[in-house]
């Protein structure tokens, strides 16, 4: 694998994760359990979409085919998206929103400091900007995991269930992809195995502190790149661009 396609793949995956997660969060607008939380989730959506914008813009530049961040967001189909299955999972309830978000926050809080030291100046610069946002998110979601785990019997049951059901999508986070390994050897991206290990340790630490059990690894790992949920999400998100291909917005 060449360096340029690997770098494209890498930025695309980071961008797609932010884009799809940001989209899911944006669906929560006017649906928060209290106004403060509604505003916080909208704020997170804004941060992730901002990160996606920067990453996809850069991905398009690396690719060199003239695709803008909007082209990449609005004119690709399910197959071409490289986000984790975790981030496309629906907002089943507030516990799912928090569990999903928390898993991504922990990942990004481990990833971005390492990317700040990337030999690629563009990536290092972006990571520095993103890190501040991710630290804030992680503080917020860790606190919620704690609160829900130790709050009431119902909140405990719900957050445990969210982790149990979302755990199926973690192998994808933990398995190194060829382009990650390649970029890691060049000092552009961090060592994916080390990242995966740190991530697991942190997640388990917070979950345990919140009085929750580590979810069981006893599931059949899905070998598809996406679940059924991404298609409808894209149909919604891409509706205007697809319906009026000549329009500028």
Partner 1 sequence: MEFQKKLHEFQQYIDAEEKIEPKDWMPDDYRLHNIRQISQHAHSEVIGMQPEGNWITRAPTLRAKKILLAKIQDEGGHGLYLYSAAETLGISRDEMIEQLHAGKAKYSSVFNYPTLNWADIGAIGWLVDGAAVTNQLSLRRTSFGPYSRAMLRICNEESFHQRQGYEIMLKMVKGTPDQHEMAQDALNRWWWPALMMFGPHDNQSSRTTKGMLWKIKRASNDELRQRFIDKTAPQAEFLGLKIPDPKLCWNEASGHYDTAEINWEEFNKVINGDGPCNRERMEHHKNVHAEGAWVREAAAAYATRKEV
Q: How far is the CB of 196 from partner 1 (least distance, A)?
A: 29
Q: How far is the CB of 174 from partner 1 (least distance, A)?
A: 29
Task: Give the tokens for residue 86.
Answer: 């975790």
CA angle 241, 244, 246 (to 5 degrees): 100
Q: How far is the CB of 211 from partner 1 (least distance, A)?
A: 11
Q: How far is the CB of 27 from partner 1 (least distance, A)?
A: 6
Q: How far is the CB of 52 from partner 1 (least distance, A)?
A: 7
Question: b/e string for 48-69 if b means 16 or more Cβ within 10 A?
Answer: bbebbbbbbbbbbbbbeeebeb
Its sign, for the CA torsion 170, 5, 189, 41, is: negative
How far apart are the C-alpha atoms of 12 and 192, rounded to whole Å?
16
State which residue, 113 or 211, has the beta carbon closest to partner 1.
211
State which residue, 96 or 199, has the beta carbon closest to partner 1.
96
State which residue, 49 or 176, has the beta carbon closest to partner 1.
49
Task: Give the tokens for residue 99.
Answer: 């569990």
Q: How far is the CB of 94 from partner 1 (least distance, A)?
A: 5
State which residue, 53 or 180, has the beta carbon closest to partner 1.
53
How far apart are the C-alpha atoms of 8 and 183, rounded to whole Å?
11
Compute how many other C-beta atoms are within 10 angstroms of the C-beta atom of residue 91. Answer: 14
State which residue, 208 or 222, has the beta carbon closest to partner 1.
208
Task: Give the tokens for residue 4.
Answer: 């340029």
Task: Give the tokens for residue 135.
Answer: 């630290």
State which residue, 83 or 170, has the beta carbon closest to partner 1.
83
Interacting residue ranges for partner 1, rule: CB under 8 A: 19, 23, 26-27, 29-39, 42-43, 45-46, 49-50, 52-53, 56, 69-70, 73-74, 93-94, 146-148, 150-152, 154-155, 158, 236-237, 239-241, 244, 246-249
């Amino acid at each position: 694998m060449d360096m340029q396609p690997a770098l494209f793949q890498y930025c695309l995956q980071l961008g797609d994760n932010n884009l799809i997660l940001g989209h899911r969060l944006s669906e929560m607008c006017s649906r928060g359990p209290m106004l403060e939380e509604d505003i916080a989730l909208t704020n997170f959506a804004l941060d992730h979409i901002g990160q996606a914008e920067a990453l996809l813009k850069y991905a398009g530049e690396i690719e060199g085919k003239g695709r803008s961040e909007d082209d990449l967001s609005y004119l690709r189909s399910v197959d071409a998206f490289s986000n984790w299955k975790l981030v496309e999972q629906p907002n089943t309830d507030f516990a799912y929103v928090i569990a999903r978000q928390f898993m991504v926050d922990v990942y990004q809080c481990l990833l971005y400091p390492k990317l700040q030291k990337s030999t690629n100046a563009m990536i290092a610069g972006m990571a520095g900007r993103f890190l501040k946002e991710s630290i804030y998110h992680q503080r917020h979601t860790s606190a919620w995991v704690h609160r829900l785990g130790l709050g009431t019997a119902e909140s405990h049951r719900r957050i445990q269930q969210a982790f149990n059901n979302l755990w199926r999508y973690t192998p994808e986070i933990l398995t190194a992809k060829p382009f990650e390994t390649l970029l890691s050897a060049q000092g552009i991206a961090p060592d994916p195995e080390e990242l995966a290990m740190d991530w697991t340790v942190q997640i388990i630490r917070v979950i345990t502190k919140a009085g929750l059990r580590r979810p069981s690894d006893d599931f059949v790992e899905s070998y598809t790149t996406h679940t059924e949920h991404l298609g409808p999400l894209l149909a919604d998100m891409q509706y205007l661009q697809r319906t009026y291909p000549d329009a500028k917005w």
